């Protein structure tokens, strides 16, 4: 039956086969959501359910100041080396920083402050000005905590972010030069390590993970720090599922946060849970060019 047959009633002389109401429509090849984006939506839903506000992470290029110095990460730390970090040649530097805050950061690194002896090195602004591809979304968490105190009186907040970070690492089956970091941050009065552990139990329970173990770890910007492990029933073994800690006073006090405010935070990647859920062994099956070698 066509439009022409309908126009001049020619259809009336034609024999049509009976309509088969049980037949299925033509299958139309449609698009699919990328697995990473599906898992990202799952994490976003969990954070929103827990009362977290999403941080603005749309700046892949960051200054060394916000990516490292603001986090009390010393300028000679190996992670700030070109072997681990992608530095940007154009624009090579950022030059506008909050003057008084920058001075407090310089002091806490070089001479020490707030009861901390600092690192005792000659802190250089040129090092802090170097632009890079952010190595963690914790740079955004630092910006948000500083901004919080610029808006007036401290108030408790819960922030989260899920976005790309870049590390100049050796590539292998499970590591690319970039991955998506998932990060949760809670700032409130008198938070303890118990609050961090309780929050982690609540967060991972929503992922169906209940058997957690914590191992002491080290991060330049958190003390204490803990690696997070879970017993994965499907894999039948303990696996590392993230890292966490309490931001150091040397990071928080220069921002102007009150002494009785603590900030707990944790991070994990988006790729690892996605690869496990979709039973992928090579990260290139998840991202990157489809090259059949
Ligand atoms: C250079 O590697 C960094 C990345 C990535 C990572 C590590 C640490 C942080 C962090 C942090 C942090 C700490 C303190 C304060 C703020 C942020 C973020 C991402 C994962 C972190 N990891 C990781 O995601 N593992 C993971 C997470 C979830 C998961 O779900 C399955 C259903 C059960 C499975 C696995 C652990 C390892 O994969 C690790 O080898 C690789 N890590």
- ipTM higher than the 0.85 cut: yes
Beta bridge partners of 228: 214, 242
| Ligand 1, CB cutoff 6 Å, lining residues | 138, 181, 183, 207, 209, 219, 222, 232, 239-245, 265-269, 272-273, 276
Q: Could you tell me the distance, in angstroms and rounded to a whole number, from the CA of residue 18 to the centre of ligand 1?
A: 60
- Alpha-helical runs (H) found in 111-258: 125-129, 138-150, 193-205, 249-252
**pLDDT score at 79:** 87
* Tokens 């034609």, located at residue: 14
| Per-residue pLDDT tens over the stretch 207-231 | 999 999 999 999 999 999 999 999 9
At 50 the three-state DSSP class reads: coil
Q: Could you tell me the distance, in angstroms and rounded to a whole number, from the CA of residue 152 to the centre of ligand 1?
A: 34
Ligand 1: residue whose CA is nearest its atom 1: 167
Mean pLDDT score across all residues of the chain? 95
Please say if the pLDDT value at position 115 is more than 70. Answer: yes
**pLDDT score at 290:** 64
What mean pLDDT comes out for the span 231-246? 95
Q: Which atom of ligand 1 is nearest to the CA of 208?
A: 32
Q: Could you tell me the distance, in angstroms and rounded to a whole number, from the CA of residue 182 to the centre of ligand 1?
A: 8
Q: What is the pTM of this model?
A: 0.90
160 CB-near residues (< 8 Å, 6+ apart): 44, 47, 52, 53, 54, 55, 182, 183, 184, 185
Question: Please, are residues 84 and 135 in contact by the beta-carbon 8 Å criterion?
Answer: yes
CA quadruple 198, 202, 205, 209: dihedral positive or negative? Answer: negative
Please say if the pLDDT value at position 8 is more than 90. Answer: no
Please say if the pLDDT value at position 293 is more than 60. Answer: no
Query: Which of 11-15, 65-69, 107-111, 253-257 is predicted with the least confidence, judged by mean pLDDT?
Result: 11-15
> CB under 8 Å, gap of 24 or more: what pairs does 224-229 form?
224/193, 226/193, 226/196, 228/200, 228/204, 228/266, 228/268
Pocket perturbation via mutation, ligand 1, pick of 243, 263, 265, 278 by most ligand atoms within 8 A of CB: 243
Question: Please, are residues 224 and 193 in contact by the beta-carbon 8 Å criterion?
Answer: yes
Q: Could you tell me the distance, in angstroms and rounded to a whole number, from the CA of residue 253 to the centre of ligand 1?
A: 27
Helix, strand, coil % in the chain, rounded to nearest 5: 30, 25, 40
DSSP 8-state assignment for residue 113: B
Question: Please, are residues 167 and 177 in contact by the beta-carbon 8 Å criterion?
Answer: yes
Burial 10-35 (b: 16+ CB within 10 A, else e): eeeeeeeeeeeeeeeeeeeeeeeeeb
| Per-residue pLDDT tens over the stretch 177-213 | 999 999 999 999 999 999 999 999 999 999 999 999 9
Q: Could you tell me the distance, in angstroms and rounded to a whole number, from the CA of residue 76 to the centre of ligand 1?
A: 24
- Alpha-helical runs (H) found in the chain: 3-7, 35-49, 64-67, 99-110, 125-129, 138-150, 193-205, 249-252, 271-277
């Amino acid at each position: 039956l066509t439009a022409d047959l309908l126009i001049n009633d020619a259809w009336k002389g034609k024999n049509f086969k009976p309509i088969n109401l049980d037949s299925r429509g033509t299958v139309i090849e449609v698009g699919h959501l990328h697995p990473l984006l599906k898992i990202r939506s799952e994490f976003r839903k969990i954070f929103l359910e827990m009362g977290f506000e999403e941080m603005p992470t749309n700046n892949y290029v960051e200054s060394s100041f916000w990516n490292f110095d603001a986090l009390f990460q010393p300028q000679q730390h190996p992670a700030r080396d070109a072997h681990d970090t992608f530095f940007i040649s154009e624009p090579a530097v950022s030059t506008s920083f909050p003057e008084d805050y920058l001075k407090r950061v310089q002091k806490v690194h070089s001479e020490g402050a707030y009861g901390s002896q600092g690192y005792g090195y000659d802190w250089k602004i040129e090092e802090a000005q170097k632009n890079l591809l952010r190595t963690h979304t914790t740079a955004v968490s630092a910006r948000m905590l500083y901004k919080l105190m610029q808006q007036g009186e401290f108030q408790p907040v819960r922030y989260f972010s899920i976005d790309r970070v870049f590390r100049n690492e050796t590539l292998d089956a499970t590591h690319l030069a970039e991955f998506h970091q998932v990060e949760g941050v809670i700032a409130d009065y008198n938070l303890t390590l118990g609050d961090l552990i309780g929050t982690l139990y609540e967060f991972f329970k929503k992922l169906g993970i209940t058997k957690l173990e914590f191992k002491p770890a080290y991060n330049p910007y958190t003390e204490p720090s803990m690696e997070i492990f879970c017993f994965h029933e499907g894999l039948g073994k303990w696996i590392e599922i993230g890292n966490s800690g309490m931001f150091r006073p040397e990071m928080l006090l220069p921002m102007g946060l009150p002494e009785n405010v603590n900030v707990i935070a944790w991070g994990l990647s988006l790729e690892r849970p996605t690869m496990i859920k979709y039973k992928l062994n090579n990260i290139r099956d998840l991202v990157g060019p489809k090259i059949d070698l």
